[in-house]
Structure 1
């Protein structure tokens, strides 16, 4: 559960006053681990409401997935990728593989997308006529 802005400011004020996590926790009535988490987030410059992304089992295999997507030009199916990963020792589920393949395909397609460039004729440079 996250704290309100007022509670976070009280934690920061108590920590700045005492300069110890335990004393700040005693003053504000919060757990010392909570105070430590908010103080560390402030020192690093992170938003205290955002959590750090947790590592996933598929992170070690993402480069291989991206390579297969690139080779197939984003036509490879996720079940085929999952079979190949299982042979390589991937212990995760097919659903995790589908999510990773979908993200890789979306990224690949975004990089290969054609942009719309309208033709704007310059006056006097082009001649157009209809019969």
Structure 2
């Protein structure tokens, strides 16, 4: 009986190995078909690139044959001077305010001296 179990185990092992080998073969065939599809796609794209490069060469030839004006730098826009009167008015206002402020600060000192009675000898006698 022990010999039978050995043969059965060997047969199961061979079947498992055969099943795993068949799965690997199927995966290989799937990959091979994907590779061939990708090769066909790359070949088609290569042909498309060749056609596009030929068309680009023709366009470049046509462009080089057409006369064109010489390349030059664009002209700089003219800068118009801004109005100066707002600055003049602002400066005049600042000067007027400074004058009035200084006059206001100086006036109380002169008025206080004029209003105060002169200090003569009247207070001593």
TM-score band (shorter)? under 0.3
Question: Normalising by the residue count of structure 1, what TM-score does the alignment of the two structures yield?
Answer: 0.20
Bigger relative contact order, structure 1 or 2 (CA pairs below 8 A, ≥6 apart): 1
Question: Normalising by the residue count of structure 2, what TM-score does the alignment of the two structures yield?
Answer: 0.21
Larger radius of gyration, structure 1 or 2?
2
Which structure dedicates a bigger proportion of its chain to helix?
A: 2
